[in-house]
Structures are given as structure tokens and as C-alpha cells.
């Protein structure tokens, strides 16, 4: 170890949306003088390369390669997630136990993704602290914890209420986590998921990729539930403006970053809509048909990031769409340089599935968001954006609510109006987010977190 600071380990859930924000946290921790070991699988090793390059002159960052889990593609999404978590535990627990016990200067804490609740048992066995990292917001975490704690029955005709959470949120059955919704109550997978979630509230601390100005009441709620104040909001965890273009943050794209930015340079300020539903969501034929028709009717400029299509044909563009809108739109297949796109002066609004990374990137870019959540925590995030922060416009919900193309065309056009109240609010919120990580609330919380970690080393010594 080279730095004078303590040694800490970071253990992400092995998908890009969970890995990337935790690596952004690693970057901050290295800058604050900690020594960091990142547990990573071979399939995701490339995601760590930009961070290793950025800190190549410092021996304070170390990767620990762990075997990749192999999961049957035939499982339902809920079964697939639980199988992944079980396999990670079975594969990695003994390897990590041996690594910690044989290391000359092992980490004083394990910072692990909120899906990896079982690492609480590993940390207890090793006599180190386990800290939860949440790539989702505090509201979403509060709902997920309450869901598994209260175990409400799901009624397809009424909403599920959470009166113990500030603002008493309510959700319909399709807005609830598929893991809770689709598993059989009481079976081994159900019990595993319940225990895995319960471990998070038993952890020594909780780190959120969020900032207190947008989620203060939910952060305070979680402090109350945990019985202590070791809950830190240190976000938005995003690269600086100087790093966004050259950094590979998640994958390869069909269009080079320079080509995308040049295309945007040729458009006027606030004239382009960026459309992305994340790297995993493939739209149904009906969703694509409506959205494509709306874009054609509105004649707005757009960039549409399209997930790679499965064999069944979902997600395919209508015949002749690209040719008819040549010059108006740019299609990107696969990963897109989203942070760079959103921060470009030409982009005025963002049609999004409301994943938390996208939510924070949209806020930090000061663009109006058009919400079309698809699953997981996205419905919770859409509510926060539209109802509480009032910086977003609702346009759809999964396959349950699909706008009519003429109506969607109107909303697309109006979203680029610089005088919209949502635009004014989100620009103010962008400034708040920038301040939070530059001498404000999030930087202060990060400093407090690092101080606590260094105190653990002293206490252990």
C-alpha cells in the first residue's frame, strides 16, 4: 500500500450500471488518500481500465479478479437475479475469506453493492466493517427495504401504500420490484432475497450516489431505520467535463464519440432530444412504432440510443424510418457516450427510462426529462423527478401506459421550450448538484466518510 490512508475494498454487483458509479466512488477515495482494492470479474475487467490508467502513477489502486458467475439464460428475470446472487456468494465467499486472511494489510472495510447483502456475514467472519453502496437513490432504497420488511400483498387492482416512508408513496403492482412480485412467497429464493435485503440495515454504514438537496427526507428516514447517522450521500458520482469524451464508461458504440459530438455541434442550442432506455431495455414493437411515429410527426432533432435487438424482432425500427429522418436524427446501436451527449449545449431534453444513473446525469446536465420507466427502481425515480422535484414530464410507463403518437409528438416539441418551468427548475438543480460535489454537501459527506474509514484503521491497529 502506498498512500498513508486506510485500505478499503469495493465490491460491485457485476453489471455496468452498478460497476460504473462504484468506480467513480473509487476515483474520489483515491483522491482522498485511501488505498483501494476493487473486486471485479474478467468479463467486466475493461470497465476498470480507465480508472487504472488515470491512476497509473500511483500503486494505491489494485484489482482483484474473481470468477464470473454463469447463469442460465432461461430463468425469469427474478430467478436470474437470485441465481446470480447465490452463485456470487458460493463462488466468491471462500476466495475472499482466504484473500483477506492471507493479505499482509487487508482492507478495514468492505463496501459492497446493496444486492450483495450476504457480504455482511463475510465481514462479520473477518471482523471488518461492511458498508452498503447504493447505485440507486435513498427513496428507492427506502421502498425496497420496506417492501421486504412489511411484505404487503399485491393486488392488481389497487395501490400498495408505504405509510412509514416520508410522503407516503404508493405504487401499482407493475411498479413494484419484479424480484418481490414474481418470486413465490416463502420459497427458498424468496427467503434468500428477504435475508439478503435485511442485511443492508444491519450494516455499519450506507453510501448513496445521491445528494442531500434532492433526497434529504429519505436519507434521514434511513438513518432512523438504521439507528445511527453513518449514512452518506456523496453524489452525483460523475466524471468532470474534461474527462467525459475520452473515457470509455461502459462499452463500445456503433458511432464514435467524436462523430456524435460533431453532429451535435452542427445543431442549435436546446434543439435536440436525447432518447435512451438504458443498455438492457429492448422496446417492444408497439413502443418503437409509437416513438418513431412521434419523432417523424414532430420533426425534432434527436439522438436515439437503441439497445441491441434480440432474435424475436422486438426493437426493430420501422421500415424506411432512418432514411426518412436522415439529417434529423442519429441512431446509436449499443452503448452511447451519454454523459457527453447530455452536457452538450444542443441537447434540451432527455427521454429516459429513469434509471438512477441516467436520472443523476440528466439533472447534472440541466436537461428536461421525459419519463418512461420500465422496471426496477425506475418508477420511484420517475415520481421523484416529476412529482417532487418537478423537473420532468411523464410520457409513459412500461407497456402499461403508451402515449398516442400525436400526443407524444406534441410533448417532444414542447419539451425543448427554454421557458418551460421544468427547464428553469432543472437548471437551478444542476447548479445545486455541481455545488454539492465542489465544496458542498456531498464533498463534506465524502470527507466525513474517509475520516471514519481512517479511524477504523487506527482502531484496528
Query: For residue 311, what pLDDT is reported?
Result: 45
Helices (H), ranges, 303-355: 321-324, 338-342
Q: Please identify which residue in the block is written with the cell numbers 426493437.
A: 315
Decide if 18 is catalytic: yes
Compute CA 210 distance to the chain's CA centroid, rounded to the nearest angstrom.
10
| From 18, 92, 221, 301, the catalytic residue | 18
Q: Is residue 439 one of the residues assigned to a domain?
A: no
- pTM for this model (two decimals): 0.92
Reading the block at residue 301, the C-alpha cell is 432533432
Q: Is residue 390 one of the residues assigned to a domain?
A: yes
Nearest CA among 351, 153, 135 for reference residue 234 = 135
Same domain, residue pair 216 and 363: no
Query: For residue 246, what pLDDT is reported?
Result: 45
Q: Supply the range of the domain harboring residue 125.
A: 7-233
189 DSSP 8-state letter: H
Same domain, residue pair 267 and 191: no
Query: For residue 255, what pLDDT is reported?
Result: 79
Q: Is residue 242 one of the residues assigned to a domain?
A: no
The phi and psi torsions of 253 (rounded to 5 degrees) equal: -125, 160
Per-residue pLDDT, averaged over 341-355, amounts to: 96
Same domain, residue pair 210 and 333: no
Per-residue pLDDT, averaged over 205-218, amounts to: 97
| From 7, 24, 27, 113, the catalytic residue | 113
Same domain, residue pair 278 and 209: no
- What mean pLDDT is reported for the chain? 90
259 DSSP 8-state letter: H
Q: Are 408 and 291 in contact (CB under 8 A)?
A: yes
Reading the block at residue 56, the C-alpha cell is 497509473
Same domain, residue pair 64 and 202: yes
Q: Is residue 126 one of the residues assigned to a domain?
A: yes
Q: Is residue 452 one of the residues assigned to a domain?
A: no
Nearest CA among 52, 60, 41, 49 for reference residue 1 = 60
Q: Is residue 147 one of the residues assigned to a domain?
A: yes
SS3 for 216?
Answer: helix
Decide if 220 is catalytic: no
Query: For residue 257, what pLDDT is reported?
Result: 84
Query: For residue 1, what pLDDT is reported?
Result: 53
Per-residue pLDDT, averaged over 250-265, amounts to: 82
Same domain, residue pair 221 and 303: no
Same domain, residue pair 216 and 340: no
Same domain, residue pair 39 and 126: yes
What domain count does the chain have?
A: 2
Cα dihedral across residues 210, 216, 219, 223: positive or negative: positive
Same domain, residue pair 200 and 318: no
Confidence of residue 327 (pLDDT cuts 50, 70, 90): confident
The phi and psi torsions of 46 (rounded to 5 degrees) equal: -65, -25
Q: Is residue 1 one of the residues assigned to a domain?
A: no
Same domain, residue pair 318 and 184: no
In this structure, what CATH number is given to the domain that contains residue 391?
Answer: 3.40.50.2000
Cα Dmax for the chain: 68
Q: What is the pLDDT of residues 124-164, one digit of tens each?
A: 999 999 999 999 999 999 999 999 999 998 888 888 999 99
Query: For residue 460, what pLDDT is reported?
Result: 64
Provide Rg for the chain, Cα atoms.
22
The phi and psi torsions of 72 (rounded to 5 degrees) equal: -65, 130
Look at residues 233, 266, 293 and tell me which one is the last residue of a structural domain: 233
Same domain, residue pair 315 and 421: yes
For residue 275, CA distances in Å to 61, 95, 256, 435 come to 35, 41, 17, 27
Residue 224 has pLDDT above 90, yes or no: yes
Same domain, residue pair 209 and 269: no
The DSSP element (H or E) to which 289 belongs, if any, is helix 285-298
Q: Is residue 143 one of the residues assigned to a domain?
A: yes
Count the neighbouring beta carbons within 10 Å of the beta carbon of residue 434.
14
* Cα–Cα distance for residue pair 375/393, rounded to 1 Å: 18
Residue 323 has pLDDT above 80, yes or no: no
* Cα–Cα distance for residue pair 61/49, rounded to 1 Å: 11
Q: What is the pLDDT of residues 425-456, one digit of tens each?
A: 999 999 999 999 999 999 999 999 999 999 99
Query: For residue 112, what pLDDT is reported?
Result: 98
The DSSP element (H or E) to which 274 belongs, if any, is strand 272-276
Query: For residue 245, what pLDDT is reported?
Result: 47
List Cβ<8 Å contacts ≥24 apart for 245-248: 245/337, 245/340, 247/50, 248/46, 248/49, 248/50
Amino acid at each position: 500500500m502506498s498512500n498513508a490512508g486506510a485500505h478499503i475494498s469495493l465490491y460491485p454487483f457485476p453489471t455496468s450500471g452498478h460497476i460504473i458509479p462504484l468506480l467513480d466512488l473509487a476515483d474520489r477515495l483515491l483522491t482522498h488518500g485511501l488505498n483501494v482494492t476493487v473486486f471485479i470479474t474478467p468479463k467486466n475487467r475493461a470497465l476498470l481500465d480507465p480508472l487504472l490508467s488515470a491512476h497509473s502513477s500511483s500503486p494505491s489502486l489494485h484489482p482483484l479478479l474473481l470468477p464470473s458467475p454463469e447463469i442460465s439464460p432461461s430463468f425469469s428475470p427474478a430467478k436470474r437475479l437470485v441465481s446470480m446472487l447465490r452463485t456470487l456468494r458460493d463462488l466468491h465467499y471462500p476466495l475472499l475469506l482466504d484473500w483477506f486472511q492471507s493479505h499482509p494489510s487487508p482492507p478495514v472495510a468492505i463496501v459492497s453493492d446493496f444486492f450483495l447483502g450476504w457480504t455482511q456475514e463475510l465481514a462479520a467472519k473477518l471482523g471488518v466493517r461492511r458498508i452498503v453502496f447504493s447505485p440507486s437513490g435513498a427513496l428507492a432504497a427506502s421502498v425496497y427495504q420496506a417492501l421486504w420488511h412489511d411484505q404487503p400483498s399485491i393486488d392488481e387492482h389497487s395501490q400498495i401504500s408505504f405509510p412509514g416512508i416520508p410522503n407516503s408513496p404508493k405504487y401499482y403492482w407493475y411498479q413494484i420490484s419484479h424480484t418481490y412480485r414474481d418470486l413465490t412467497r416463502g420459497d427458498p429464493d424468496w427467503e434468500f432475497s428477504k435475508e439478503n435485503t435485511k442485511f443492508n440495515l444491519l450494516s455499519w454504514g450506507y453510501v448513496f450516489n445521491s445528494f442531500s438537496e434532492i433526497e434529504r427526507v429519505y436519507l434521514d428516514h434511513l438513518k432512523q431505520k438504521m439507528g445511527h447517522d453513518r449514512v452518506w450521500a456523496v453524489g452525483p458520482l460523475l466524471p468532470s467535463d474534461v474527462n467525459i469524451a475520452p473515457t470509455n464508461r461502459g462499452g463500445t458504440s456503433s458511432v464514435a464519440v467524436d462523430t456524435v459530438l460533431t453532429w451535435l455541434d452542427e445543431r442549435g442550442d436546446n434543439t435536440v432530444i436525447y432518447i435512451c432506455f438504458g443498455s438492457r431495455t429492448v422496446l417492444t414493437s408497439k413502443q418503437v412504432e409509437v416513438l418513431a411515429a412521434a419523432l417523424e410527426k414532430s420533426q425534432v432533432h434527436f439522438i436515439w440510443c437503441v439497445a441491441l435487438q434480440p432474435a424475436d424482432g422486438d426493437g426493430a425500427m420501422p421500415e424506411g424510418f432512418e432514411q426518412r429522418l436522415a439529417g434529423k436524427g442519429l441512431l446509436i446501436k449499443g452503448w452511447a457516450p451519454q454523459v457527453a451527449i447530455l452536457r452538450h449545449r444542443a441537447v434540451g431534453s432527455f427521454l429516459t427510462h429513469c434509471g438512477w444513473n441516467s436520472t443523476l446525469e440528466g439533472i447534472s446536465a440541466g436537461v428536461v426529462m421525459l419519463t418512461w420507466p420500465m422496471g426496477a427502481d425506475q418508477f420511484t425515480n420517475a415520481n421523484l423527478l416529476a412529482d417532487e422535484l418537478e423537473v420532468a414530464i411523464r410520457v409513459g410507463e412500461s407497456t402499461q401506459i403508451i402515449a398516442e403518437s400525436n400526443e407524444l409528438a406534441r410533448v417532444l416539441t414542447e419539451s425543448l421550450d427554454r421557458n418551460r418551468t421544468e427547464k428553469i427548475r432543472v437548471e437551478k438543480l444542476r447548479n445545486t448538484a455541481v455545488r454539492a460535489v465542489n465544496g458542498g454537501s456531498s464533498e463534506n459527506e465524502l470527507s466525513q466518510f474517509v475520516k471514519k474509514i481512517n479511524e477504523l484503521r487506527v482502531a484496528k491497529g
